[in-house]
Every structure is written in structure tokens, then in C-alpha cells.
Amino acid sequence: MDTQPTDTQPTDTQPTDTQPTDTETVRAYYASYGQREWQRLERAEGVVEWIVTTAILDAHLPATGHVLDLGGGPGRYSSWLLERGNDVTLADLSPELLDIARARPDRDRMAEITEADARDLSRWPDAAFDHVLALGPMYHLTDPVERAQAGAEMVRVLRPGGMIAIATMPWYGSLRRTLALPDERRHFADAQFVDDLKSHGIFHNDVPGRFNSGYGFRPAEIAPYFEELGLTTVTLVSTHGYASGMEETIVALRDEHPTAYEVAMRLLIDTADDPSLFGLAGHLLYVGTKDM
């Protein structure tokens, strides 16, 4: 029996801050990234994430229909969706990242590029989209009410039977990144920081210019959480698979031994749904369909 705490079964100690998400801080974080957010998927860590994510989407997402790319930033995945035949609406909280998308050659092929908050998609009617891709919003929402709002909105604008893919983070991911960064390791000496993260999945960071706050699921909670919103689970995968933390080695193998690289990447994709990989994953990708 899983006795780990959930959002609906809090532990005795409460997190220090369950205030609504600071939207302007999130906007400022991504505004500072600029073109780096587009280029992120070309660096070692991003290459693995990109290949695994697109492989999983390719296996489950029909190459037809109108897709809402929610939280899609500069539109890297939107461009991929267009190339495979989907109609695409790109929506994001960051006007700066959307400006990058508007400067892309394929901008005229987009159905719409617009600023939107995942917690309020009222600009679109029920069942407006055949499919929804949400690879960013959920792990920025530290408040459980806001997560529920965003999840409900994503499901509302999805047509019955449509597919949805949602990126989440496991709470261990925030623990690992804190340990990896020399100027953030001091947070381990803060008992409240540790308890907020361990007991509630809530991460806060006071280092300027860094990922400032987020929510990390316990992997066993992810499928039940989205099923409660009216989805049927198709799969849950780690977008870095067994190579989490070894992305540079995998990418180096591409030049050193192309055949070995192809085998390694195929193994990454084929084993991405192994639950033993989930706790230490950088990102987890949930794929489901809306109940009819």
C-alpha cells in the first residue's frame, strides 16, 4: 500500500507557501531565457528529452487534428507538430517567447499564437481541440487548487476521445538539481525547505535568475491524479530514461559510434515506461485520452 502523502492527504506539517503562483516571476524567468529556450533542446540534456518525447508522441498522437501546444514557449514542439501534419495553436504565458515563435518561418502555418494562462483557458470553448500538449504548465503550479484548475481546463478544451500529453516533474528532481548547483546546496540546511519538498513536493529557490518554484509529484500519484480529472491513462514515461544524468555521454556516443548510439537511443525509448526509472527522472510525460 502506498502511504506517501498526496495533495488531498497532507502531512501534519504544512508548506510555508501555498499562495497563488507569482505569474510575473514565471514570465520574468522565461523572458531571461530568450533564444536559449529554443536552443535548450539542442544541448545534451535537451537532445535526449527531445528524441524520447517526440518518439512517444509519434507513437500515440494522431498526425491529424488540431493540437493546443499549451506552455509551448517559442514553439519548438509546435514546429514539429506542423511538420507531421497537425494544425497547431501555440499558447504560452511568456510574450517574449511567443515573439520568437512569431519570427519563425512557419508562423503563418499556425492556427493561432497567443498568450494564455493554463489556469484559465476561457478564450476557447469546450472541446475546442482534438489534442492537447502541455509540456510546461503543471510543474510551475505549487498550489493544489491551481493545479486542479489547470488540469480541469486542459481537459475541458479537449474533445472526448482526444489525446493529451502532460509533462510533470518528480520531487526528487528538485532535490537532485539543488544538490548539483554549488550556490543552491545551502538549502539542504534549511529544515523548512527540506520539509516543503519532501512532504509536499514544493520547491522554492531564492537564487536570482534560476528556476524559482515548482511542484514535484510522487510518480505513483500521477496517473490517479489525471484519471480523477476524466482521463484514461495510456502511458507514463521518463523523458530521460536510464540516461538521466548521463545525457552528455549518450550524445557523445552519437559521434564516437553511431551504431551504438542508435541502439542506446532505441533502448531509451523502449524502456522509458519502466516504473523503476520514474523517481529520479528529470521529467515524466503522462499520456492519456479524454473519457467519452
Q: What is the pLDDT of residue 19?
A: 59
Contact between residue 158 and residue 129 where contact means Cβ atoms under 8 Å apart: yes
Q: What is the pLDDT of residues 102-112, one digit of tens each?
A: 999 999 999 99
User: Among the listed ranges 15-24, 133-142, 157-166, 228-237, which one has the minimum average pLDDT value?
Assistant: 15-24
- Are residues 164 and 193 located together in one domain of the fold? no
- Are residues 123 and 254 located together in one domain of the fold? yes
- Which grid cell is 241? 530514461
Question: pLDDT at residue 7 above 50?
Answer: no
- The answer for residues whose C-beta is within 8 angstroms of residue 221's C-beta and 6 or more apart is 4, 6, 7
Paired residues of 133 in beta bridges:
69, 165
Within a domain: 181: yes
Cα–Cα distance list, 247 to 34, 258, 264, 289 (Å): 23, 15, 11, 30
Number of domains in the chain: 2
Q: What is the pLDDT of residue 12?
A: 33
Question: pLDDT at residue 16 above 50?
Answer: no
- The answer for residues whose C-beta is within 8 angstroms of residue 267's C-beta and 6 or more apart is 241, 242
Average pLDDT of the chain is 88
Q: What is the pLDDT of residues 216-262, one digit of tens each?
A: 999 999 999 999 999 999 999 999 999 998 999 999 999 999 999 99
Within a domain: 10: no
Question: pLDDT at residue 148 above 50?
Answer: yes
pLDDT band at residue 284 under the 50/70/90 scheme:
very high
Q: What is the pLDDT of residue 37?
A: 65
Q: Which of 248, 26, 68 is nearest to 158 (CA)?
A: 68
Contacts 24+ apart (CB under 8 A), 99-102: 100/34, 100/35, 100/37, 100/38, 100/73, 100/74, 100/75, 101/72, 101/73, 101/74, 101/75
Cα–Cα distance list, 171 to 101, 126, 217, 219 (Å): 31, 32, 6, 9
Q: What is the pLDDT of residue 245?
A: 87
Helix (H, G, I), strand (E, B) or coil at 264: helix
Q: What is the pLDDT of residue 212?
A: 79
Taking the model in full, what pTM does it have? 0.88
pLDDT over 70 for what percent of the chain?
87
User: Among the listed ranges 44-48, 171-175, 241-245, 271-275, which one has the minimum average pLDDT value?
Assistant: 44-48
Question: pLDDT at residue 9 above 80?
Answer: no
Contact between residue 1 and residue 126 where contact means Cβ atoms under 8 Å apart: no
Q: What is the pLDDT of residue 127?
A: 98
Give the residue from 211, 226, 260 where a domain finishes: 211
- Are residues 191 and 101 located together in one domain of the fold? no
Within a domain: 251: yes
pLDDT band at residue 38 under the 50/70/90 scheme:
low
- Are residues 150 and 201 located together in one domain of the fold? no
pLDDT band at residue 14 under the 50/70/90 scheme:
very low
- Are residues 204 and 163 located together in one domain of the fold? no
Mean pLDDT, rounded, for 138-147? 92
pLDDT band at residue 207 under the 50/70/90 scheme:
confident
Cα–Cα distance list, 243 to 47, 248, 259 (Å): 12, 9, 17
Question: pLDDT at residue 6 above 80?
Answer: no
Within a domain: 73: yes
pLDDT band at residue 13 under the 50/70/90 scheme:
very low
Paired residues of 277 in beta bridges:
none
Cα–Cα distance list, 184 to 59, 149, 194, 208 (Å): 38, 31, 13, 11
Helix (H, G, I), strand (E, B) or coil at 288: strand
Helix (H, G, I), strand (E, B) or coil at 34: coil
Domain range spanning residue 194?
174-211
- Are residues 134 and 273 located together in one domain of the fold? yes
Q: What is the CATH number of the domain that holds 94?
A: 3.40.50.150
Within a domain: 253: yes
Within a domain: 50: yes
